[in-house]
Amino acid sequence: MVPLKLLSSLTFVAALSAGCSSSNASTPSGGDSGVGQDSGDAATGGDSAPAADAGGAEGGACQDLGGVYTTSGGCSSSAYVLPSIVCLRQTGCTLRLSDTGGVTFTGTVTGSAYSVTRPISGITETCSGGAADAGAGQESISCTASVITCAGTAAPATIKDSTGTCCDVMAQDCGTSARCTAVGVVTGAALATACIPDTGTGNAGDACTRASADITDVGRDTCAKGLYCANFGSVDANTRFCRPLCAQASDCTATGTACQAIGSAPQTGACMPECSVFGGAGDAGSGCGPGNTCRPVDALGQPETPVLDTFCSFAGAGAAGATCKYATDCGAGLACSSGTCAALCDSAHACTTGTCKAFTGLAPGVDATLGTCG
C-alpha cells in the first residue's frame, strides 16, 4: 500500500498503493532531494508491528494491515515515483494511510484486500490491492489518479525495540512508559513514527545527543517525551537540540515558528523559527546565527498540505552548480534544487546568471516570487 508523490506540486497523486511525485527539474520543490532536509535527519523507517491502536480482524472480516511499509514499484510516467515509506493505522476494518507528504487516504479492508481514496483537485485518487506474498507480509499495490497509474509492492519495515508503529506524535498515544517519535528503519533509508522507551529528560532548547550515529538510533536520544533531538538550525550536523514535535503548522504555538518536516517520517516535524532569506546581513538571513543560512525547506502546513517554508540551516561547502542531495550540502544563499546547488532569488534579488524560477507550494507569508536561478 503505497501512495505516490507529485514533487512538482508538493502533493501526492496516489494512495495506499501508488502516490506519485513529479521530478520536473525546472520547478524547485519540496520533493527535490534534500531541498528541505538536513543531512542528519533525512533518512529513517518503521516496523511491521501494527500501530499502537490498530484493530484486528473483526470476526475474521478483515486482515490487520496496520504498520510501517517500505515501497517499490513504478508508474506509467517516468516523471512520477513511489514514496519511500507509508504508515497504516487500522481500527477494525477501517484503514487510514499517511505518506511522507503529510497526505492521508482513507478506506476499508475486506479479507486481505484493501481500497483507499482521497479527493484532490476535482478528481478522486483510488488505490487498491491485496496480499502479494502472505509469507513475507507484502501487499500488491495499484493506484490511479487521472491518467497516471502506479503499481508495485509494499513490504513491512523493521524498527528495533519498538512496541508499536504509526503512532501520533501530538497525542503521544504510546502509554506511560513509552514515547512516540520519529525513528529510523532497520532496513532502508527512511523515517517513520514508533513507540520506543521513554528515557529522555531534556527540555525544549536543551542540547541533546543520540544513542549512536547509526540511522537506526534516530529518535533514541536524551530529549523528553514530545521532543525531538534535531540539528535543524545548528552550526553543523552533529550539534543538536531538543525541539517540540509537530504534525502541522498550527501545532507550533510560539510566535514566528512553523513545523519543519523530519525526513520521510509521515506527518512528523519539529517546531522551528522561520527566517527571511534576504532579510539579514551577510550569509545569515534574518534570524539565523553564524554559520547558518536561511533557505526554503520541506515543512508541514495545515492537514494534508505539505509546503516549503524558510528556516535556518547550516551552510555546506557546495558552490552554485555543485551536486547535492540535501539542503545542507549547499553553501550560504543556495538551495538544493533537482540535485544541484542553485542561487536563491526573488523579484527584488535578480539572478546574475539565468532566470529566477519560482518555487511552488510556498507557505503563507513566504515571498511568492522566491525561487532559484537556472
**Residue 325 cell numbers, joined:** 542531495
DSSP string, 200-232: --BPTT-EE-BS-SSGGGTT-BSBPTTEEEE-T
Show the CA angle centred on residue 254, arms to residues 251 and 255, nearest 5°.
120
Q: Is residue 213 part of a domain?
A: no
8 A C-beta contact, residue 278 and residue 2: no
Report residue 20's pLDDT band, with 50, 70 and 90 as the boundaries: very low
Instruction: Please say if the pLDDT value at position 301 is more than 80.
Output: yes
- pLDDT higher than threshold 50 for residue 58: no
Domain carrying residue 11: 5-25+54-156
Inside any domain, residue 329: no
**Cα 174–Cα 180–Cα 186 angle in degrees, nearest 5:** 110
**351-372: pLDDT as tens digits:** 999 999 999 889 998 999 999 9
The C-alpha cell that represents 74 in the structure block: 513504478
- pTM of full prediction above 0.85: no
> pLDDT tens-digit profile of 33-56?
334 554 445 433 222 233 333 333
How far is Cα 303 from Cα 257, in angstroms, rounded to an integer? 17
Q: Which residues contact 135 (CB under 8 A, 6 or more apart)?
A: none
* 140 lies in some domain: yes
Any domain includes 260: no
3-state secondary structure of 250: helix
Q: Is 193:265 a contact under the CB 8 Å cutoff?
A: yes
Strand, helix or coil at 274?
strand
pLDDT score recorded for residue 226? 97
Average per-residue pLDDT for the chain: 79
> Structural domain tally of the chain?
1
- How long a stretch of residues is the chain? 374
- Which has the higher per-residue pLDDT, 116 or 16? 116
Cα gap 251→87, rounded to integer Å: 20
Q: Does residue 49 belong to any structural domain of this protein?
A: no
Query: Where is average pLDDT lowest: 35-39, 82-86, 111-115, 334-338?
Result: 35-39
43 in any annotated domain: no
**Confidence bin at 295 (pLDDT 50/70/90):** very high
107 in a structural domain: yes
**Computed from CA positions of residues 236, 242, 244, 247, in that sequence, does the dihedral angle turn out positive or negative?**
positive
What pLDDT does residue 133 have?
60
Domain assignment present for 18: yes
